[in-house]
Amino acid sequence: MEINDITIFMELYRNRSITKTAELLNYTQSNVSARLMKLEKEFHGTFFLRTRSGLKILPEGERFYQYAVIMEDTLKKLYQEFQTESQEIRVGSTQLLSRLYFPWLFEKSSYFTMHTDAVKKLNRNFNSQIYDIVITHMPQSPDTGIFQIQYPEVLLWAASSSLDWNQEEVLPVIVSRDKLCPLRHLTLQTLSQGKIQLSLIEVDTLDLMITLLSANRAIALLPEKLIKQERRLKVLPSLSPVTLPVYGYCRKKTEADLLNQLFQET
């Protein structure tokens, strides 16, 4: 049995779904099924009944759960115990927010290690205490003892600094291809309020978005801070700004104070 097998079992127990567990843990469904079968074989039991509506926990699975929940709690305490000996603070964020906030952290201290991940993986790694701090646009339902810092991020419509735009001209809109991206969702929501049919350009990375935006006749909804950092871009003042909350999550008061300072000074 591997340590990750306990994590897989616990997520299967909570969600009663191989598909959802695979998505949450960033595994393939076949990998989750294989690990479960190996676990059942190793302990000579059948923990779940596979049905069309999902997984049904069996008595042997309930017995295994009584031990697995203790092991999960023990592992969390083990990580906490040994990680407190290190001054290193592990910060995770999305591609966009890391661009805005990591430089400030880097200047503050060499004790920060910075990681860029997808939103789902950020939440999972924070809950598993792989990250000490997470900065994200996606709200969580934090457990007791978790600090949540919320900050309103101003978003403006941006275009190439060389664009000479007539407001009657309908320009393509550049968005992230990630369907879970909050900026994509807010962009589409804002555009849906108008009656004009717009064309979308989907991209996979922030760098590609900025490159296309600076070299083409197109627009995108971006944080004001990012537009100010990019000389290739300018704000389109004729289009209304919107706000999107940024959330910081951590477990220590000192880290919460740091997040407050980060949001206020950047």
Q: What is the pLDDT of residues 116-134, one digit of tens each?
A: 988 888 888 888 888 999 9
Q: Region 56-71: what's the mean pLDDT?
A: 94
Q: What pLDDT does residue 179 have?
A: 85
DSSP H or E run through 147: strand 147-160
Q: Is the pLDDT assigned to residue 191 strictly greater than 90?
A: no
* Sequence-ordered list of residues with C-beta below 8 angstroms from that of 16, at least 6 positions apart, any chain: 54, 55, 56, 57
Q: What pLDDT does residue 117 have?
A: 87
How does residue 197 score in pLDDT terms, banded at 50, 70 and 90? low
One-letter amino acid of 220: A
Q: Is the pLDDT assigned to residue 59 strictly greater than 90?
A: yes
Q: What pLDDT does residue 108 have?
A: 76
Q: What pLDDT does residue 237 have?
A: 84
The C-alpha atoms of residue 259 and residue 257 are separated, in whole angstroms, by 5
The C-alpha atoms of residue 175 and residue 108 are separated, in whole angstroms, by 32
How does residue 180 score in pLDDT terms, banded at 50, 70 and 90? confident
Q: Region 256-263: what's the mean pLDDT?
A: 90
The C-alpha atoms of residue 42 and residue 34 are separated, in whole angstroms, by 12
How does residue 110 score in pLDDT terms, banded at 50, 70 and 90? low
The model's pTM is 0.64
Is the distance from CB of 183 to CB of 175 less than 8 angstroms? Answer: yes
What's the distance, Cα to Cα, between the start and end of the chain in Å? 46
Q: Region 187-207: what's the mean pLDDT?
A: 81
Q: Mean pLDDT for the chain?
A: 87
Distance of CA 142 to the CA centre of its chain: 14
- Pick the more confident residue, 174 or 138: 174
Domains of the chain: 3-83 (1.10.10.10), 89-151+245-265 (3.40.190.10), 153-244 (3.40.190.10)
Q: What pLDDT does residue 239 have?
A: 82
- Pick the more confident residue, 143 or 10: 10
Q: Is 174 exposed, middle or buried (0-12, 13-18, 19+ CB in 10 A)?
A: buried
How does residue 195 score in pLDDT terms, banded at 50, 70 and 90? low
The C-alpha atoms of residue 246 and residue 225 are separated, in whole angstroms, by 13
Q: What pLDDT does residue 247 have?
A: 94
Q: What is the pLDDT of residues 211-254, one digit of tens each?
A: 999 988 899 999 999 999 888 999 988 788 999 999 999 988 88
Q: Region 36-63: what's the mean pLDDT?
A: 92
Is the distance from CB of 156 to CB of 241 less than 8 angstroms? Answer: yes
Is the distance from CB of 1 to CB of 31 less than 8 angstroms? Answer: no
Q: What is the pLDDT of residues 156-175, one digit of tens each?
A: 999 999 988 777 778 899 99
Q: Is the pLDDT assigned to residue 13 strictly greater than 60?
A: yes
